[in-house]
Structure 1
Amino acid sequence: MAESATAPDVSGYSFEKAVAELETIVARLERGDVALDESISIYERGEALKKHCETLLSAAENRIEKIRLDRSGKPQAVEPLDGE
């Protein structure tokens, strides 16, 4: 799987698709059977996928916070999303 030298465009990926590809990249890197140049290339793609997933998660958190507002726009016992 040869990767291009330019930054990968993953902006159209769903969260699930990005995570699946990221898991594949991690597995390949953990096996250690990838040439150095290709390792760097797929690592960069993994970074792009990770950032995309973080962006999607942040957007989802923001949407949840908006849903938790009452009709007048006042917060209703907002709790952290991670249960802290």
Structure 2
Amino acid sequence: MTSVTDVSELSYEEARDQLITVVNQLEQGTATLEESLSLWERGEALAARCEEWLIGAKERLEAARTVPTNAPSGDE
């Protein structure tokens, strides 16, 4: 498993895929308590990274849909 410190470098898709893997491992119930805690912490970090990407995407979409009222029309 990769370290928690590299989560900030992941794309949305990478973080999502790793989160799915972490959830699957936790659902299997075969990990020790220490491993489970580590997986949980990793999952929390991955979920936060996904949320960062989604918030950023939402902001970009809102900015793209918002047309400033004082924008030049291009006729000038």
Query: Fold match, TM over 0.5?
Result: yes
Q: Gaps spanning 5+ residues in structure 2: where? A: 70-76
Relative to the length of structure 2, the TM-score reads: 0.83
Question: Aligned partners of 1:8, 1:29: CA distance in 2, in Å?
Answer: 20
User: Which of the pair has the greater relative contact order for Cα pairs under 8 Å at 6+ separation?
Assistant: 2
1:27 aligns with 24
| Greater share of helix | 2
Relative to the length of structure 1, the TM-score reads: 0.75
Q: Gaps spanning 5+ residues in structure 1: where? A: 75-84
1:11 aligns with 2:8: yes
After TM superposition, which residue ranges in structure 1, 4 or more long, deviate above 2 angstroms?
none
The count of aligned residue pairs is 69
Instruction: Name the Cα RMSD after superposition.
Output: 1.5
Give the 3-state SS of the residue equivalent to 1:10 in structure 2.
Answer: helix
- Identity among equivalent positions (%) equals 45
